[in-house]
Amino acid sequence: MVNYKGKVALVTGASSGIGEAYARELAARGSHVIVVARSKDKLEVLAKDLKASYGVNTYALVSDLSKRGAAGELAEQVKALGLKVNILINNAGFGTHGRFEEIPMDRYREMVNLNITSLMDMTAQFLPYMQQQKDGIIVNVSSFLAFYPFPYMGAYAATKAFVLSFSESLWAENRQLGIRVLALCPGATKTGFFDVVGTTDLPGGVTGTPQSVVRTAFRGLAKNRSYVVDGIGNYWTANISRFFTRKFMAAFSERLARPASKN
């Protein structure tokens, strides 16, 4: 059994969607929660709600984690509050959709900085304390697109493939130290993610909910899994690539993801 009561959890991208659902569930299980995002007003409302509903300590820290040095600055804010993080939920991230050359490189750089570099920086900031305590949890939010190439969202899928591989390696490195590391791989989930991406054209449609994704994550942590995919259909979609060549999967995915204007 995993004990969450009295632990300090830090959740990025917590102002909505999966991050908000995770913060709520952690508070319900007795964890003190640090919520992090760019939206100050939303964070403060959430923090007050969690404290009133569950009687835990809550802290709202505003940060744009896509900016260089943001993870270190955030760690300093946490230290100034006198807190030690036992549970880290690296949820902040975003995606793009369209032909590769149609999206500005600055947008790609911002995405890579947030989806990959920031996630590593956050892990580097808070993992050492968990190793000293021989106890801790890190959940890195990946995607079921991490398992195969997905044209028109190729760069996003590649960042999530990195998150999956990185998380599995961290799980192996730290499994003897009492630290659980999980790559959480949702399918298309009903969040504001698609407002940023600009499309809902994904295999199976947008059917998941933040709550179902979070429940899947807690089950995976209870079993000390290195990764979990939310939803049976998403699981089989993610793993079907094992039975086909990578060339076939790339071509097949291109047909699935091709924008209507390109058909």
SS (H, E, C) the chain: CCCCCCCEEEEECCCCHHHHHHHHHHHHCCCEEEEEECCHHHHHHHHHHHHHHHCCCEEEEECCCCCCCHHHHHHHHHHHCCCCCCEEEECCCCCCCCCHHHCCHHHHHHHHHHHHHHHHHHHHHHHHHHHHHCCEEEEEECCHHHHCCCCCCHHHHHHHHHHHHHHHHHHHHHHHHCEEEEEEECCCECCCHHHHHCCCCCCCCCCECHHHHHHHHHHHHHCCCCEEECCHHHHHHHHHHHHCCHHHHHHHHHHHHCCHHHC
> Of 80-84, 122-126, 197-201, 241-245, which range is least confident?
197-201
d(CA 231, CA 187): 7
Band the pLDDT of 255: cuts 50, 70, 90.
confident
27: pLDDT strictly greater than 80 = yes
Question: What's the confidence (pLDDT) of residue 201?
Answer: 57
Q: What is the mean pLDDT of residues 40-48?
A: 95
> Of 39-53, 131-145, 188-202, which range is least confident?
188-202
Task: Encode pLDDT of 211-233 as tens digits.
Answer: 999 999 999 999 999 999 998 87
CATH superfamily of the 8-262 domain: NAD(P)-binding Rossmann-like Domain (3.40.50.720)
Question: What's the confidence (pLDDT) of residue 169?
Answer: 98
Q: Which of 41, 42, 43 is nearest to 33 (CA)?
A: 43
196: pLDDT strictly greater than 50 = no
> Of 15-19, 31-35, 210-214, 248-252, which range is least confident?
248-252
Give the number of other CB atoms < 10 A from CB of residue 45: 13
CA 24 from chain center: how many Å?
15
Contact (CB, 8 A) for 191 and 210:
yes
Q: What is the mean pLDDT of residues 50-55?
A: 97
d(CA 231, CA 243): 20
Answer yes or no: pTM beyond 0.85.
Answer: yes
Band the pLDDT of 235: cuts 50, 70, 90.
confident
Question: What's the confidence (pLDDT) of residue 194?
Answer: 47
Q: What is the mean pLDDT of residues 176-203?
A: 71
Kindly list the catalytic residues: 156
Task: Encode pLDDT of 57-106 as tens digits.
Answer: 999 999 999 999 999 999 999 999 999 999 999 999 999 989 999 999 99
129: pLDDT strictly greater than 60 = yes
In one letter, which amino acid is 26?
A: L
Radius of gyration of the chain (CA): 18
Task: Parse the chain into domains and list their residue ranges.
Answer: 8-262
138: pLDDT strictly greater than 50 = yes
Question: Does residue 198 or residue 22 have the better pLDDT?
Answer: 22
Question: What's the confidence (pLDDT) of residue 205?
Answer: 55
